[in-house]
Structure 1
Amino acid sequence: MLEKLLLNFCLTVTLTYGLSLTFRGWPVPRQGREVQLRMALVSLLPIILMMFPVYLVPGVQADLRFVPIVLTTLLYGPLTGLLVSIPAMLYRVWLGGAGVTPALVSLGMLVLTAAAIRAYAGRSSHRETLGRVAWPWYVVAFAPHLLPMLLLLPNGAAIYQAVKLPLWGAEVVVSLLALSILEGRLRLLRLNHTLKREAAEDSLSGLANRRQFDADLPGLRPPDALLLLDIDHFKAVNDSLGHPAGDAVLSAVGHALPQMLRHGDRAYRYGGEEFAVILRGSGPDGAQATAERIRVTLSTLDVPELQGRPLTVSVGVGLVLQDAPLDALARADAALYAAKDAGRNRVALWTPDLKPAPAATGT
Structure 2
Amino acid sequence: MTTGMDAARDDSPRAGDGAPDGPPVVVRLAARVPAWARVGGEAATAGRVLLVFSGAVLVVGAVALGVDAHEARVLLGTVGALAAAVVLSLRRRGPRSPRATVAYPVGVLVLLGVLALTTTGTASAFIGLIPLCFVYLGLFHHGRTALAVLPVAWAAYLAILPVFDAASWIRLGVYGMTWWAIAQTLAVTTAYQRSLRRRLYADARTDQLTSLANRRDLDERLAEAVPGDTVVIADLDHFKRVNDTLGHAAGDVVLERFGHAIAQHLRRRDYAARYGGEEFVLILPRTEPVQAVNVLRALRTEWAEEGHGVTFSAGIALITEGTPPGSALAAADVALYRAKNAGRDRSRIATERIVPRPRAQAPAAGP
> Above 0.5 in TM-score?
yes
Structure 2 distance, partners of 1:219, 1:341, is 31
The Cα offsets for residues 250-271 of structure 1, whole Å up to 9 and x where unpaired, read as: 2222222233323432100100
Whether the 8 Å CA contact 1:227–1:291 is kept in 2: the answer is: no
Determine the structure 2 residue equivalent to 1:253: 258
CA contact (8 A) 1:23 1:185 kept: no
Alpha carbons of 1:169 and 1:36: their partners in 2 closer, same or farther (altered >3 Å)? closer
Which region of structure 1 is more displaced relative to structure 2, 231-240 or 46-55? 46-55
In the TM superposition, 1:78-157 aligns within 5 A as 88=152
2:202 aligned partner: 197
CA contact (8 A) 1:226 1:318 kept: yes
Partner of 1:323: 323
Partner of 1:268: helix, strand, or coil? strand
Q: Which residue of 1 aligns with 2:98?
A: 35
What is the CA distance between 1:85 and its match in structure 2? 7.1
State the partner residue of 1:47.
110
Q: How does 1:290-301 map to 2 (within 5 A)?
A: 290-301=295-306
Identity rate, percent = 31
Q: Secondary structure at the match of 2:97?
A: helix
Is the Cα–Cα contact under 8 Å of residues 228 and 315 in structure 1 kept in the other structure? yes
Deviations 1:182-211 (A, max 9, x none): 333333322322222222111111111111
User: Closer, same or farther in 2 for the Cα pair 1:76/1:220, shift >3 Å?
Assistant: same
Q: TM-score, normalised by structure 2?
A: 0.58
- Residue 333 (structure 2) aligns with: 333
Letter in 2 for 1:22: A
Shift in CA distance, 332/215, structure 1 to aligned 2, threshold 3 Å: same
Q: CA RMSD in A?
A: 4.7
Which amino acid in 1 is paired with 2:350? W
Alpha-carbon separation, structure 2, partners of 1:237 and 1:274: 15
Among 237, 240, 246, which residue is 2:242 paired with?
Answer: 237
- Which 5+ residue runs of structure 2 have no aligned equivalent? 1-25, 31-40, 46-94
Question: Relative to structure 1, is the Cα distance of residues 40 and 249 closer, same or farther in structure 2, using a 3 angstrom cutoff?
Answer: farther
Matched, 1:362 2:355: no
1:22 aligns with 2:35: no
1:22 partner SS: helix
Aligned AA (2:110): I
Contact 1:237 1:246 survives alignment (8 Å) = yes
**1:144-293, aligned counterparts within 5 Å?**
159-161=165-167, 163-293=168-298
* Structure 1 residues 81 and 170: CA distance shift in structure 2, 3 A: closer
Task: Measure, in 2, the Cα distance between the counterparts of 1:50 and 1:242.
Answer: 75
3-state secondary structure, aligned to 1:255: helix
The residue type paired with residue 277 of structure 1 is L
Residue 290 of structure 1, CA deviation: 1.7
How far residue 234 of structure 1 moved from its aligned partner, in angstroms, is 1.8
- Cα shift at 1:48: 4.8
Q: Distance in 2 between matches of 1:256 and 1:36?
A: 43
- 8 A Cα contact 1:291 1:317, kept in partner: no
1:229: how far off? 0.7
Structure 1: 5+ residue runs without aligned partners? 1-13, 25-31, 101-154, 302-307
- Larger mean Cα displacement after TM superposition, 315-324 or 40-49: 40-49
Separation of aligned partners in 1, 2:286 and 2:272: 15
User: Secondary structure of 2:203's partner?
Assistant: helix
Partner AA of 2:260 in structure 1? H
Cα contact 1:317–1:348 (8 A) shared by 2: yes
8 Å contact from structure 1 (residues 298, 313) kept in 2: no
Structure 2 counterpart of 1:50, which letter? Answer: G
> Residue by residue, what CA displacement relative to the aligned partner does 1:269-308 show, whole Å, maximum 9, x if unpaired?
100111000111212222222222222222223xxxxxx5
Shift of 1:52: 6.5
Alpha-carbon distance in 2 for matches of 1:168, 1:339: 76
Query: Cα distance 1:81–1:323, how it changes in 2: closer, same or farther (>3 A)?
Result: same
CA shift for structure 1 position 73 = 12
Provide the C-alpha distance between the structure 1 equivalents of 2:263 and 2:180, rounded to a whole number of angstroms. 45
